[in-house]
Chain A
Amino acid sequence: MPTVSVRRDLLFRALGRSYTDEEFDELCFEFGLELDDITSEKDIISKEKGEGKAEGASDIVLYKIDVPANRYDLLCLEGLVRGLQVFKERINLPRYEKIIPAKGEGQRLIITEETAKVRPHAVAAVLRNITFTKERYDSFIDLQEKLHQNICRRRALVAIGTHDLDTIAGPFTFTAKAPPEIKFKPLNQSQEYTASQMMDLYRTDSHLRHYLHLIENKPLYPVIYDNNGVVLSMPPIINGDHSKISLNTRNVFVECTGTDMTKAKIVLDTIVTMFSEYCEKPFTVEAVEVILPNGKTHIYPELAYRKEKVKPELINKKIGISETPSSLAKLLTRMCLKSHVIGNGNNIEIEIPPTRADIIHACDIVEDAAIAYGYNNIQMTIPKTYTIANQLPLNKLTELLRLDLAAAGFTEALTFALCSQEDIADKLGTDISTTKAVHVANPKTAEFQVARTTLLPGLLKTIAANRKMPLPLKLFEISDIVVKDPSKDVGARNYRHLCAIYYNKSPGFEIIHGLLDRVMQLLEVPPSEENGYVIKATEG
């Protein structure tokens, strides 16, 4: 769940009123957010580096709000405020408008075919006559970082670049070149580097080194130039210093490049809808023409409004309420889904704005109606489903045996299904290759290299950890082991095993023999070679 950190004072100012912490927590709960933590910069530094380092840090109160992973429109203060204000019916959702400049006057982004093998997609837009303050600027940078970490999958799918349009000149070209041929001064550096040098430069950078692998081994690296050969950025690594944004920036060129076109469009729409609030003409975005290698052109941002029709009965039925169509339309409008009743009052037309890319099916609309209604206002009912119940036979047998093993004086253990290779092989005197064990490809420690093929190591480890207990120790476990089985679709099969162990100063083979006889008696398996069980000596 992404966490957004907002200043409480700015939040309440934008919301137009103050809340107590409890009141705000309640509001979040209702809306589907979680007020995870109330802290300050000073608190954060105190916790991480100790009170001494926190001297002089700000103690302005910060709210850390957890936001659902599919709500890209709530990842910044601007979006949260807008969402909450519409929810509380204090404002109407603004209408986002795309302004297409006159022919020849708009910005153009040309994509060349070299990008196809490394980072094929790009979209762009312009925020015209925007006014930044320190808070807005910080929020702008934070949103990009949040998007990078979440929908962009740590820049692998999409990378965002924002540039001061007044320092560069279009048309812009998005292409890919060999690393030694790309040379520019990256953000906040004092000299120029080639792309190859930048790979080394950023290898130790705590933030950027995680993204190097995305392009490092490719023959060509992506790069965006302006008309005069100035480098805007080398996505997904770093922007150029030349076009960096400052508090005085008035016109912003936003570009998103990536390997997933759908997400690139969503990311661009998110940034421009959130921050066009601060443009001279609020909520307007200037379009950019993107020219593909095959000559086709597209206008971005899409800022698409989509209309869906949903029957009021469907919404009522799925939730378990009975609201009138106009009441339902009002509920949906409160969730930023502008709706009104159409037909003879038996249908609702819903307009899905570009900020709600998470709405992909009627069930998403049903959920929003339920949230606006208030989950805790819905009447709780029991389904009329009539079924005859049965326990899984294997589990039923296991439950019965557990009780009788306990009655025989053995204590149950619950051990791990994953263990080290040694546990099931070397320590038991066999070779791992004979065990047909399932191996874990990416174990974090040696403790979970394989899935257990026998319950014995778990019980032995339990004894080892309880050596100080009075003797004898009599333990058992009835649980699954795993072996490879090519006939199954997942390539492995579970078997339910029973294992018992007796630990004392003297070995007590007769105790275990007795337990085995008892278990067989309970299972009606006679001691007979032909149609029952028999004990034989074994190696190892």
Chain B
Amino acid sequence: WRRPHEAWGERFRVAAGALPAAAMSPSVAELLLQRLEREPPGPGGGLCSLEAAAALGLDHQTLVGAVKSLQALGEVIEAEARAATRWELSAEGAEVLRDGSPEVRLFRSLPADGLPQSDAMVSRRGPQGWGGVHSQGGYGSQGYKYEWKVEEARKNLLRTHTTSASARALYHLACQDKFTPVKYFSIDRVFRNESLDATHLAEFHQVEGVVADRGLTLGHLMGTLRQFFTKLGITKLRFKPAYNPYTEPSMEVFSYHEGLKKWVEVGNSGVFRPEMLLPMGLPENVSVIAWGLSLERPTMIKYGINNIRELVGHRVNLQMVYDSPLCRLDV
């Protein structure tokens, strides 16, 4: 429940002699150097970057940027990274302090004459249900046998795939009094904090389809995919076993690209795992098949675009937008 709280900063001093020429208006580097001048030189003196940023009314990251560029000039300043740690209660720890441990909370919530375990798990939709499945198993699963932490699960993220939205939609479906079959789709933005290059951006779009009904099979998923891709003008398909943590069986979908003369991956799909669906409260004989693909990749393949920045973002060439023909896929 406790975790170290880290704060780090850099201490720096001006080296004797070297100072760059003054610029027209005071840059961050200039302001920093001016402040540093006032500090005593030598190992004992110097400034802490966190304090300096606060005093100058600057964002710490901006100040660090200035420090790095000054360091790049040569022997102008010396900087040394330091870390300070202290212990503090994590969110989960604070919760336990306030409400008691999960064991205590479960104990307190049970009625005097008890409750069958399956009811206790299903009636508590949410953390109790998933925590149990992940840590010890349940719903016919061995479980993942690790310590599931609610604090970790509650961390806010920009979603990396639209499956998170599908999961929410399925949860609302499960909350209905009576189950009705559904077919959902979404086409929306996703985010990845990865290194950027010609084919990767921090944000792009995904297309996702979901069918929830009783008695769905892998054959149904393949048939649905075949019709879906036919509408996109892709007919030659092959399916390959794959792995996703939340689907089993899982399949990667490949199509034959006449131009590149090879099979390329066009999508990913699978049947959602019971460990995901049953804690939501969906009936046991309901299966959910789902598939997804990115928008940008097939578009780039179809139009022969090599750099994703030509397709998304502010650097798109407006002339390309003015001149583009109709997009006719299934003709």
From B216, B314, B321, A383 is in contact (CB under 8 Å) with B216
Q: Determine whether B106 belongs to the interface, using a CB cutoff of 8 Å to chain A.
A: no
B240 and A375 form a contact (CB under 8 A): yes
Note all chain A residues with C-beta closer than 8 A to B203.
416-418
Could you tell me the distance in whole angstroms from the C-beta of B73 to the nearest C-beta in chain A? Answer: 21
> A411 with B240: in contact, given A383-B216, A383-B224 (CB under 8 Å)?
no
> A69 with B193: in contact, given A378-B222, A473-B318 (CB under 8 Å)?
no
B220 and A416 form a contact (CB under 8 A): no
From B137, B226, B318, A360 is in contact (CB under 8 Å) with B137
Which A291-329 residues have a C-beta within 8 angstroms of B? Answer: 317-321
> A380 with B226: in contact, given A70-B243, A371-B241 (CB under 8 Å)?
yes
A414 and B312 form a contact (CB under 8 A): yes
Which A345-374 residues have a C-beta within 8 angstroms of B? Answer: 360-364, 366-367, 370-371
A444 to B158 CA separation, bound complex (whole angstroms): 14
A361 to B273 CA separation, bound complex (whole angstroms): 9
> Would you give the 0/1 interface string for A44-62, flagging 1 where the beta carbon is closer than 8 Å to chain B?
0000000000000000000
From B146, B250, B319, A262 is in contact (CB under 8 Å) with B146
> A466 with B317: in contact, given A319-B219, A371-B241, A381-B217 (CB under 8 Å)?
yes
Q: Determine whether A446 belongs to the interface, using a CB cutoff of 8 Å to chain B.
A: yes
Could you tell me the distance in whole angstroms from the C-beta of A110 to the nearest C-beta in chain B? Answer: 25
From B201, B243, B271, B274, A68 is in contact (CB under 8 Å) with B243
Could you tell me the distance in whole angstroms from the C-beta of A455 to the nearest C-beta in chain B? Answer: 11
A319 to B248 CA separation, bound complex (whole angstroms): 11
Interface size class of B (residues with CB under 8 A): 35 or more
List of 10 A-B pairs having minimum Cβ-Cβ separation, nearest first: A320-B219, A32-B241, A320-B217, A367-B249, A68-B243, A461-B314, A380-B223, A360-B142, A262-B145, A361-B141
* Nearest chain A residue, comparing its CB with the CB of B193: A444
Q: Determine whether B90 belongs to the interface, using a CB cutoff of 8 Å to chain A.
A: no
Which B310-331 residues have a C-beta within 8 angstroms of A? Answer: 312-319, 321-322
In the complex, besides A381-B217, A416-B312, 20 extra interface pairs with C-beta distance below 8 angstroms are: A32-B242, A68-B242, A317-B217, A360-B141, A361-B274, A363-B273, A366-B249, A370-B218, A375-B218, A380-B222, A381-B219, A381-B223, A387-B183, A411-B318, A416-B202, A416-B314, A418-B158, A464-B314, A465-B314, A469-B318
B275 and A361 form a contact (CB under 8 A): yes
B183 and A361 form a contact (CB under 8 A): no
Q: Determine whether B143 belongs to the interface, using a CB cutoff of 8 Å to chain A.
A: yes
A84 to B178 CA separation, bound complex (whole angstroms): 46
Which B135-180 residues have a C-beta within 8 angstroms of A? Answer: 137, 140-146, 156, 158
Q: Determine whether A491 belongs to the interface, using a CB cutoff of 8 Å to chain B.
A: yes
> Would you give the 0/1 interface string for A16-40, flagging 1 where the beta carbon is closer than 8 Å to chain B?
0000000000000101101000000
A448 to B216 CA separation, bound complex (whole angstroms): 41
Could you tell me the distance in whole angstroms from the C-beta of A272 to the nearest C-beta in chain B? Answer: 20
Q: Determine whether B49 belongs to the interface, using a CB cutoff of 8 Å to chain A.
A: no
A418 and B183 form a contact (CB under 8 A): no
A444 and B202 form a contact (CB under 8 A): yes
Q: Determine whether B239 belongs to the interface, using a CB cutoff of 8 Å to chain A.
A: yes
A415 and B219 form a contact (CB under 8 A): no
Could you tell me the distance in whole angstroms from the C-beta of A466 to the nearest C-beta in chain B? Answer: 5
Q: Determine whether A462 belongs to the interface, using a CB cutoff of 8 Å to chain B.
A: yes
A360 to B246 CA separation, bound complex (whole angstroms): 13
